[in-house]
Amino acid sequence: MGVELRYGLRRALHSLRAPPTWQQRSCVASSHRTSRPSKAFSTSTSHRQEPFTAAPEINLSAENNIPILKRIRVVPASPSYFSGKPAFTDDLLALQALLRKYQTLPVVETGHAPRIAWRTFESYKSFLGSEPIKASKYQRLVAILHRLNHIHPSLMPQEVKDAMERYKREINPFANVAKPKPVDEWGRAMGLGRRKTSTARAWLVEGEGEVLVNGGSLAQYFGRLHDRESAVWALKATQRLDKYNVFALVRGGGVTGQAEALTLAVAKALLIHEPGLKPALRRAGCITRDPRKVERKKPGHLKARKMPTWVKR
């Protein structure tokens, strides 16, 4: 009897220390609900005074209550409205459509089309606004414009002219003609040439082919054969060696730089006497200046690879 009493006492003490079961918790909660009324806010529709709506209902008037308006949708004016570059895509599609329409028309020979200055890339970007575009994309437009510009002027359609007018610059730089330099009273024409830090001035006058550089002969001033040929390359390329005398002043830079500066100076002076030689001089590379300022040296040396290098044309 004493053992059973002790066992029953231990179970009673253990039940007092143990947490209540879910049946006991539910009974306590129900007793609390029945004992006092609840003051908690309820979101159920049964306790609302009036129905809740996120926005007022659309009241279609009698004139707007048309059956067809309930089953149609708004169509964008541009087919590329949902693309990332709608304005550029519309321009590209319009030019491509013109090219397909008039690609069978006769064209002029290469180099005989009217010279037109198209908009620059930055100008076209500002024309589009905030739409992002790459330079390579704009080059596609320019290529199509060049092709349309080669249509024969007598057969050029008006809509092609209107389309090209949209991409022209406001000021055509090709209309600016440089003022020709005159030949002085002694029959001399002066040309100025530069190469890196070298400067050359050459006076060209009709004669027997004598060349003086800084008061000395060509062979005395330039020891290398390559430099001597570079100095008079403009006359040699146009077969004018025995028709003009050259008097030159050179300074600055090295010997090779002075010889190539003299090439440009003699070519400019020759163009004053004979402007028709410009295509031949351009093909010979005599009127294109080399824009390099510093020699390209080996890594580790002073001013090594600090300036970009261009190939002389």
Measure Cα distances from 145 to 17, 87, 127, 139, 141 in Å. 93, 17, 17, 10, 6
Strands (E), the chain: 189-195, 198-206, 211-213, 216-217, 244-251
Q: Give me the pLDDT at residue 203, please.
A: 95
Q: Is the pLDDT of residue 191 over 90?
A: yes
CB atoms within 10 A of CB 244: 24
Q: Tell me what percent of the residues of the chain surpass a pLDDT of 70.
A: 70
Which residues of the chain are in CATH 3.30.230.10 domains?
189-283
Which is nearest to 200 in space by CA: 240, 238, 256?
256
Instruction: Enumerate the H helices of 103-181 as residue ranges.
Output: 121-128, 135-149, 158-165
Q: Can you list the pairs that 121-130 forms with residues at least 24 positions away whose Cβ atoms lie under 8 Å? A: 123/169, 124/167, 128/87, 128/88, 129/87
Rg, the chain, Cα only: 44
Q: Where residue 6 falls among pLDDT bands split at 50, 70, 90? A: low
228-265 confidence digits (pLDDT tens): 999 999 999 999 999 999 999 999 989 999 999 999 99
Q: Is the pLDDT of residue 312 over 50?
A: no
Q: Give me the pLDDT at residue 70, please.
A: 65
Specify the pairing of strand 211-213 against strand 244-251: parallel
Distance CA 308, CA 297 (A): 11
Q: Give me the pLDDT at residue 116, please.
A: 87
Which is nearest to 214 in space by CA: 202, 196, 198?
202
Q: Tell me what percent of the residues of the chain surpass a pLDDT of 90.
A: 43
Lowest mean pLDDT among 124-133, 262-271, 290-299: 290-299
260-286 confidence digits (pLDDT tens): 999 999 999 999 999 889 889 988 989
Q: Give me the pLDDT at residue 81, please.
A: 76
Q: Give me the pLDDT at residue 311, please.
A: 44
The structure's pTM equals 0.47
Instruction: Enumerate the H helices of 210-298 as residue ranges.
Output: 218-221, 225-231, 233-237, 255-273, 278-283
CB atoms within 10 A of CB 230: 21
Q: Is the pLDDT of residue 135 over 80?
A: yes
Q: Which CATH number fits domain 189-283: 3.40.50.2300, 3.30.230.10, 3.40.50.150, 1.10.357.10?
A: 3.30.230.10
Which is nearest to 207 in space by CA: 245, 163, 155, 172?
245
**Quick one: DSSP state of residue 155?**
G
The single residue listed with the structure tokens 């129900």 is 30
